[in-house]
Structure 1
Amino acid sequence: MSDVHAIGPEHSVPPAMIARAATLAGGGAWRCELAGERLGWTHGVYGLFGIDPGVRVERPEIVGLYEDESRETMERVRSAAILSGSAFTFDAAIRAVTGERRWMRVWGEVESRDGRAVALNGFKQDVTRQRAELEQLRARAERDPLTGLGNRATFEARFLDLPDPASAGIGALVLLDLDGFKQVNDRYGHDAGDACLRSFAMRLWDTLGDAALIARLGGDEFAALLPHGPMLPRARLIARVIPLLASPVAWQGKLVHFGVSAGIAAAQGSPESCFAAADAALYAAKRAGRNQVRIASAGPAAAPPHFASVPARETLYARHGNTHRK
């Protein structure tokens, strides 16, 4: 026999039970009468905003608790619903009166009389924890777990997938590679190599703080997307900080040494051609010796044909499948 029973008109749910269920769900019901914009809340909504139940709430004050972008979204969605008479839902970030930042999910519908909207009724639920969990999942998907920088997928999405990097505010691509990293792993072990990668990543972040993205592409290769600006000063800056980036890392009482090479290319043309030019400049820097920086020459000859003919993704996958370029 089923333990589930239908509730008919003769067994209506008490309002207190409904309010309690809403509070347990992390939210509550709300109502806004459009004439005068008078608000009505259950206890759950008061708790969401950090306001004592029963306190008279005025809509202008409550709207002021929304963060700017969420406030704009709320007003836009609300106005469209009143005009169309349709139901709506959106997520909004607020600052409770306690100062705590919270996320809530808002559902609403329009109450009309004689074809005219007179009130909005709905439900608000605290989704702060769910949003935090979503952000954590997104961060794990977008970041390299060893260094905390962006990963290769993020680099592809934010650079290689762009139709025109320059129009997206990207002025240059820098590719960097650790010299002698294989010898570090062979001599000291992979834990020491990981320590070098983490230290290098932190130094790179501190040095190129204005970069739109700093990512580890795989192995010992990194990339930075720089904003618009003259190329020569950029190259000189990187050349000046190379000794810092390549300074030895302390590991179990020893100093582990490695070098750094860098290739820079202006974000001109397609992402593929820019990557090929920066890659060619990086190889030129490595051929010139440890701790060198090279700028890709402008124009069609920026990269030799054998670089330009290989798509950037294939280059990255081939390079960092299970091998490292040293």
Structure 2
Amino acid sequence: MSDRPLRFAAIGLDHRHIYHLVGELIAEGAECAGYCPQTSDARVMDGFRERFPQLRAVDRDTLFDDPSIDIVVCAAIPRDRAAIAVRAMRAGKDVMVDKPGATSLDQVADIEQAARETGRIFSICFSERFVVRACEAASRLVAEGAIGRVIQTVGLGPHRLNRAIRPGWFFDNDAFGGILVDIASHQIDQFLYFTGAGDAELVASSVANRGTPDIPGFEDFGEILLRSDDASGYIRVDWFTPDGLPTWGDGRLFLLGTEGTLELRKYIDIAGRPGTDHVFLSNRDGVRHIDASAETLTYFVKFLHDVRARAATAMPQGHALKVTRLAIEAQIAARRGGGMR
């Protein structure tokens, strides 16, 4: 591949996560060839045009068929992401999608087959790791041995419901896959990554509707227990962030190591230090707070390197689909109404 800037297209503008997929790639020197204006949420499109007024709308088929485009990024309705990814890979393009990458095991198999047959990269931008500077700091500390070997994780993913502004598909489990597929894929990714596990066993999972009885099929609470050969993980996700919290969720990650602990308060330190990206380290040397707000994000530059070098530095080969498969299996197996099985 020549030294020209890599070119990408945005197809599937249904979720606001498309903003950081596009924005971070542009910041790392990639060139956006255009975006497909098809959307299920006009507010997402309005926000996109406000952030990227220089970009042009292009017919979807034209973007797929353009041989000069190297990458397709996608934040479509979750059930539509697999088909877009498969078409893009079969058109000779690498793919970066928002989580979840798929909503069914059949879709996972389709993506897996397309990636294997085409040799293209399929990557999921797990934003709660890749767009969080506290996670970059924790990754460095774990690699340096600051807490020894990570043997357990607790990942908490609370979100604000913002019911009045959600599109219709948000409340359709078939469209977004369910709460464990939609949100908990973040925490599954972090469990595998920080423990170094190649895979995991689903021990138990549950989902429930605790606060939205007028939408009986909707799930606003979920939890998962995972286990690998050397570690275990607990995950809790929910839609109960109170309106008084000045951010969309108090996302936290706890890492238990053989020689210490790390706590990440990603988005807020309640009634404590201002700002985001707080890391608390406890080990044999004592206890300290680390302001990680200046850490460099690495996923996007590594992804672009991988496209050029046909490498896997941003994400191990198969990791994205392993996470997705575990999330779907947890959703399928989940006990509904409380109590895990």
Q: Give yes or no for TM over 0.5.
A: no
Q: Report which structure shows greater RCO (CA 8 Å, sep ≥6).
A: 2
Q: Which has the higher helix share?
A: 1
